[in-house]
Amino acid sequence: MTVNGILQAILYLAILVLLVKPLGAYMARVYSGERVFLERLFGPVERRIYRMAGVDPAREMDWKTYAIAMLLFNMLGLLALYALQRIQHLLPLNPQGLGPVAPDLAFNTAASFVTNTNWQAYSGETTMSYLTQMLGLTVQNFLSAATGMAIAVALIRGIARQSAKTIGNFWVDMTRGVLYILLPIAFVLALGLVSQGAVQTLSPYRTVELLEPTRDTAGRTVTHQVIAVGPVASQVAIKHLGTNGGGFFNANAAHPFENPTPLTDLLLILAESAIAAAFTYTFGKMVGDTRQGWALLAVMVILLAVCIFIAYGAEAAGNPRLAALEVDQTASDLNPGGNMEGKEVRFGIARTAIFATVTTGTSTGAVNALHDSLTPLGGLVTLLMMQLGEIAPGGVGSGLYGILAFVIVAVFVAGMMVGRTPEYLGKKIEGYEMKMAALAVLIMPLVALGFTALAVSTEAGKAAVFNPGPHGFSEILYAYTSQANNNGSAFAGLAANNPFYNITGGLAMLMGRFFIAVPILALAGSLARKKRIPPSAGTLPTHTPLFVAWLLALIVIVAALNFIPALALGPIVEHFQMIS
């Protein structure tokens, strides 16, 4: 590791922490219905939306109504996106004349973008028309992000309220999240990306003459190249801000038209982690104790920082098998050093390690390098960041409600250990709350490991693996871990665009999103109905360094119990093969 690389990691973490309070306070005002400085601009739009949709913003919902509204809205979005892909060849804004998307791939992609996963078993520039990219994928990037944020806010209200039957209005939370948070920030970010060289156009792809003729695989002379362009910056901005991750181009954020410079690289990872981290302060403000939010943020940042430096160290150390061939992997003024396979020279080892860790610690899944080319330990970090539950800092909204599920479990276990009734912020944590939290924690590993087992035990699953042995297993495990966590990144090396992986992957994404969201809303409804009890001498403080350490230990233990056996068959054994 170099001093420059270490400083880049510290700079990112410092800016992220500095953004938490102002952004978190602003979001608390938005979701509390208070006036914000954008009210004059978006207020009339908000009221018009309510009138057109027949929504009474003053009418709140109980948790069941909230959950039904959320599920219906997202299922309608899934059907609309599926239909758009199937008929895109009949619609305008398709200058390349791209055909309809295959049924299994259209289902997988619709499930992917509706669940905030953005898993892409296709190449964007050769599969999706401009209309599908904008009206279908980009719109779902906003809506899926706002859905996760709404669920988190509903849980916050459930904790903050007492003897209440309602947890808010899903339509209001969705609308305000898009209008006052996602849309304005994405607009500014898109302008910043364009200023650095990201593409934003509706013009057809450009055909340019090569400086030197070359030959294709058939031996024919090639003198021209087609360069894909399109409405890129607008999609890239929200795909990072909303922790979506699906790229306009197949190369994703490694493509210079999406992520041109180291500055845009920094902006993108800040965008994908800022809202998730700031939600901790929003939580503290809305429950009336900001210390609780800072404690949650401390857990997130500690996990994130540790994993960033492990990944950076692993990639900077390089590959000992290349060293044996006398390949120079030492960092110098002329050599970036380390394992540069699959990485962009303009980003280097440090920026790649930071990006890879952040994109898997959030539910973004965008990549600025090929994760399949990471060292075994570097790849292990990306897997682990997802297998921890994506709570460091997690997706927009989902990161907060994910870590709060762990908090409920931690409080319950601690209470049982000392023989007292567990409580959190004045609410008793009883059997029902523990069951809902346990479901939220355990659904993801059940889905990820269950589909991995299915894939490695069937011919359809094994036929898509290009790399036999431990790395091939890691690719399958990574795919389903990514989908069950609604992350969307991939190890590659897996022929995932086939009916088996498209259908099982789509189901994994839907289960990983909604099988967790419903128990979280049930938990919110149960906590809202409870009376608040005053703290006593035996109350477990949940804002102290001791509780932060206990919560960290619990998160790591749960992940280890669930995934260490599988990891031992993949990246761990691959690491020992590399160094042996």
Which pLDDT band, with edges at 50, 70 and 90, does 539 fall under?
confident
User: Is pLDDT above 90 for 54?
Assistant: yes
Three-state DSSP at 223 gives strand
Question: 473-514 pLDDT, tens per residue?
Answer: 999 999 999 999 999 999 888 889 999 999 999 999 999 999
Q: Are 158 and 432 in contact (CB under 8 A)?
A: no
The pLDDT assigned to 486 comes to 93
Segment (H or E) for 225? strand 221-227
User: For 251, which DSSP code?
Assistant: T
Which pLDDT band, with edges at 50, 70 and 90, does 326 fall under?
confident
Query: 355-365 burial, b for 16+ CB within 10 Å, e for fewer?
Result: bbbbbbbbbbb
Number of other residues whose CB lies within 10 A of the CB of residue 445: 20
Q: Are 244 and 113 in contact (CB under 8 A)?
A: yes
Q: Which of 119, 182, 167 minimizes the C-alpha distance to 397?
A: 182
User: Is pLDDT above 80 for 185?
Assistant: yes
Which pLDDT band, with edges at 50, 70 and 90, does 517 fall under?
very high
The pLDDT assigned to 247 comes to 87
User: For 101, which DSSP code?
Assistant: P
The DSSP result for 180-221, as a single string, is IIIHHHHHHHHHHHHHHT-----SPPEEEEEEEEEE-TTS-E
Q: Are 569 and 470 in contact (CB under 8 A)?
A: yes
Q: Between the CA atoms of 439, 445, 446 and 447, what dihedral angle is there, to the nearest 10 degrees?
A: 110
The pLDDT assigned to 468 comes to 83
Q: Are 138 and 233 in contact (CB under 8 A)?
A: no
* Residue carrying the six token digits 């959320």: 70
Question: 412-427 pLDDT, tens per residue?
Answer: 999 888 878 799 999 9
How far from the centroid of its chain's Cα atoms is residue 23's Cα? 19
The pLDDT assigned to 322 comes to 83
User: Is pLDDT above 90 for 540?
Assistant: no
Number of other residues whose CB lies within 10 A of the CB of residue 242: 35
Residues whose CB falls within 8 Å of the CB of residue 198, separated by 6 or more in sequence, listed in order: 190, 232, 233, 236, 257, 258, 259, 260, 264
CA distances from 414 to 183, 299, 410, 418, 549 (A): 41, 17, 6, 7, 12
User: Is pLDDT above 80 for 538?
Assistant: no
Using CB atoms within 10 A of its CB, is residue 339 exposed (0-12), middle (13-18) or buried (19+)?
buried
Q: Are 287 and 156 in contact (CB under 8 A)?
A: yes
Q: Which of 199, 209, 225, 230 minimizes the C-alpha distance to 95?
A: 230
* Residue carrying the six token digits 């005002």: 29
How far is Cα 399 from Cα 395, in angstroms, rounded to an integer? 5
Number of other residues whose CB lies within 10 A of the CB of residue 515: 16
Q: Are 360 and 489 in contact (CB under 8 A)?
A: yes
- Least confident interval from 262-276, 327-341, 474-488: 327-341
User: Is pLDDT above 90 for 327?
Assistant: no
**Model's pTM, two decimal places?**
0.94
The pLDDT assigned to 405 comes to 96
Question: 147-169 pLDDT, tens per residue?
Answer: 999 999 999 999 999 999 999 99
Q: Are 233 and 200 in contact (CB under 8 A)?
A: yes
CA terminus-to-terminus distance, the chain: 23
How far is Cα 468 from Cα 476, in angstroms, rounded to an integer? 11
Question: 17-39 pLDDT, tens per residue?
Answer: 999 999 999 999 999 999 999 99
- Looking at residues 206-211, what average pLDDT do you find? 92
The length of the chain, given as a count of residues: 580
User: Is pLDDT above 90 for 526?
Assistant: yes
User: For 77, which DSSP code?
Assistant: H
Q: What is the 3-state secondary structure (H, E, C) of 506-536?
A: HHHHHHHHHHHHHHHHHHHHHHHHCCCCCCC
The pLDDT assigned to 337 comes to 82
Question: 60-101 pLDDT, tens per residue?
Answer: 999 999 999 999 999 999 999 999 999 999 999 999 899 999
Which pLDDT band, with edges at 50, 70 and 90, does 287 fall under?
very high
What is the percentage of the chain residues whose pLDDT exceeds 90? Answer: 84
The pLDDT assigned to 493 comes to 82
The DSSP result for 85-147, as a single string, is HHTGGGSSS-TT---PPPHHHHHHHHHHHHTT----SS-HHHH--HHIIIIIIIHHHHHHHHH
Single-letter residue type at 196: Q
How far is Cα 301 from Cα 321, in angstroms, rounded to an integer? 34
- Per the prediction, the chain carries an average pLDDT of 93
Residues whose CB falls within 8 Å of the CB of residue 140, separated by 6 or more in sequence, listed in order: 77, 81, 113, 114, 244
Q: Which of 234, 228, 233 minimizes the C-alpha distance to 260?
A: 233
Is the C-alpha dihedral spanning 466, 471, 474, 475 positive or negative?
Answer: negative
The pLDDT assigned to 77 comes to 96
The pLDDT assigned to 45 comes to 96
How far is Cα 111 from Cα 306, in angstroms, rounded to an integer? 32
Residues pairing with 208 in the sheet:
225
- Looking at residues 305-327, what average pLDDT do you find? 89
- Looking at residues 314-329, what average pLDDT do you find? 85
The pLDDT assigned to 325 comes to 81
Question: 101-115 pLDDT, tens per residue?
Answer: 999 999 999 999 999
- Looking at residues 392-419, what average pLDDT do you find? 92
